[in-house]
Structure 1
């Protein structure tokens, strides 16, 4: 049995290396064609270009390894079936599960180091690649703005944008960090970011500014503008080569992500506490609505009551109605901040599970590839590539779709990232179970017809 295990492992090793190199070459070529325009006319030395290309091979390896495992499994078991080695082993009393076990062992030997790679090497190389890209584009600091993520690099403000159309960012929310005296929040339909020598000029269009004193919530001011400019100091964002800096979710290790999630959770708790205090002041006997929609309805109903009381008693002060209007504006902004932080938390949760779900696809691909290779009875490289392309395409469609739904808070990050493995894993288990139940090697219908003609 040890000889059989070594033999099956050897049959997987070389096809895996060949497939890994070819898939890396294909992905790298595609990346190079897309990245070449970034270097044209920049006058960059060759060592900087090579460093940038090398740093970007990390994510290519992370994607290529599971595909290479699938190709190797299809080739190995396809050749075993084509040479009737599977039939000979089954006739000798060796179960299909015993034949499959070395392949599963091989996939685990690939998956475990890949998990470590995704948590250690990959984040740092992704970060260094982005930092180097920032040097290359040092005259374009606005490229650091990513839709859907809070930008916390600036010393005085944090902001988030929902999208970008042309050179303008859409649905921009800006929050002041200095809350010792006044809490400031700004929302604009559109905005542009233009770099200055030591600052960033933000031009906002069609928006509102909300200001409220931290020590006295009654002092509230709302400003509506068609166009508004903010000059943000950017000394900390000078585009120089450096090892540290702000990291996106794909540039973080598990510890970094957990720390980020904890920070966002603390901010959510602080905002919820502030909402609770405001309601205790304005509605001491009313429970806080669970959602923003319920909150708006409650405030609207209370305003109607205030209006009716004002009509019945013209001499009644109307300051309470105005206070309710201000409260509605403040609470609405707070809930928008909570929703933004929760979306960010879910995105970081997606990245945590992606570090493990993608390497685990190696095991899933063995469960699918082994019985599929026997069904095709072809051990050729191009046959394996064709079948691998179909399953990998299906897998990544599930993965991308799940990530998109998780980013929109439709799915939990764990479900979104593990769903492709669960679905394809279930298919692989069914196919493997069928293989263990068959006395002879099962084949595709076309292969059976050819076998019958040959026997005649």
Structure 2
């Protein structure tokens, strides 16, 4: 549903085949694994151990001398296998799915609107033509047709008016043929000199039947070469991200080095004497707060003009250097984020399992009720922390490595705490236990007051 809400405007009214839309949805579903897999691990572990606790099967397991940690070992092995699979998926399958999704989406978004004739509205979908009809029958017959033909007209359109007509495609689907009946064509000759000519020709031709052809090549879905998107960071594996990161860092060094060289070239003391002559440089005297005092009166105007020109040259080039430097730094940060994302997906499965399994053993409720509420609550905490930290890292306010692992770092103590509470059979979510605790607390206070 999220996919349809986001891309519905790019899919409707373009005449796509159903399998093209299904193919796009299949590629998009691969990107949702990073959200669906951790949530499914958390929910399934809560439901599994909640059902075991609700049916007193955990009690039977513990009465047989088997601890909770030992009972979790088989599922932990399954989670390890799932973790390895998620890492392989994010490193090999997900980049290819992102590549195919973005290339197909690019072709879809650049495909022209399907040729839909609406009565009373000029349709400009076909290049160099504008078509308008007064009405349209259910069998496809058009009435009151007006066509503006701007093809090879030097700015003066050719106008065709017909009482009725019908659209048909050629057998090969390359052209659209409009069968027109009982109409007239108006055409004004263009001036060769480009100026108004009072003797300019104007022709009018009546016809009983004609069939103009319109090229439909712009309506075809031409697939772009996927290699054109191959250098995008989400479509690379670990090795590709490393290579791109190294390339971006070299590119950033080159930009900064060229910037410094261009800036230094504006100051003569950096390149005038040193290394090119045996003449000793004269040590500059102490410069006053007002620099013009150290410049002779006859040279002050020239010095000010030269300084203004130098500053103007620097300010002219800075708008080109600064955005490029900022873009490359942002790309470097993004590559570091995507590199860590390959591992955080696998780590989140283990983390949420050690939150969900003890939580299910504590709440002792199975099914789709309370476990779903608990799973969504904990997952939202995990997702919000990850999203906020990633956004801060992209803005340069947080280290990318720390930002991608901060959710794991924050929730790991919670997983340890829940595992400990489940091991000692703590009634962490038992309302009656809290009632007994507060009743005892209030009774102690009443006795203390009475004494």
TM-score range, shorter chain: 0.5 to 0.7
SS, match of residue 226 in structure 2: coil
Q: Does 1:265 align with 2:234?
A: no
Root-mean-square deviation (CA, aligned residues, Å) is: 3.0
**Bigger Rg over Cα:** 2
1:345-394 per-residue CA deviation (whole Å, 9 max, x = no partner) reads 10121111112102321111111112211221101133221111111111
Matches within 5 A, 1:34-45: 34-45=6-17
Matched residues in 1 for 2:5 and 2:399: separation?
A: 35
Matched residues in 1 for 2:5 and 2:262: separation?
A: 55
Matches within 5 A, 1:298-377: 307=292, 309=294, 312-314=297-299, 317-318=302-303, 320-321=306-307, 322-327=309-314, 329-330=316-317, 333-377=320-364
Q: 1:73 Cα shift?
A: 0.6
Q: Is the 8 A contact 1:75 1:384 kept in 2?
A: yes
Q: 1:85 Cα shift?
A: 2.6
1:130-173 per-residue CA deviation (whole Å, 9 max, x = no partner) reads 11111112158xxxxxxxxxxxxxxxxxxxxxxxxxxxxxxxxx
Q: 1:404 Cα shift?
A: 0.6
1:99-128 per-residue CA deviation (whole Å, 9 max, x = no partner) reads 233332222211111111111111111111
Matches within 5 A, 1:52-451: 52-138=24-110, 240-247=223-230, 248-283=232-267, 307=292, 309=294, 312-314=297-299, 317-318=302-303, 320-321=306-307, 322-327=309-314, 329-330=316-317, 333-436=320-423, 438=424, 440-446=425-431, 448=433
Q: 1:33 Cα shift?
A: 4.0
Q: 1:417 Cα shift?
A: 0.9
SS, match of residue 244 in structure 1: helix
Q: Which runs of 5+ in 1 are unaligned?
A: 1-28, 141-237, 287-301
Evaluate the alpha carbon distance shift between residue 274 and residue 75 of structure 1 in structure 2; reply closer, same or farther with a 3 A threshold.
same
Q: Is the 8 A contact 1:81 1:441 kept in 2?
A: no
Q: 1:242 Cα shift?
A: 2.3
TM-score where L is the length of structure 2:
0.62
TM-score where L is the length of structure 1:
0.61
Aligned length: 310
Q: 1:449 Cα shift?
A: 7.3
Evaluate the alpha carbon distance shift between residue 313 and residue 433 of structure 1 in structure 2; reply closer, same or farther with a 3 A threshold.
farther
Matched residues in 2 for 1:79 and 1:374: separation?
A: 8
Q: Which runs of 5+ in 2 are unaligned?
A: 113-220, 271-286, 438-451
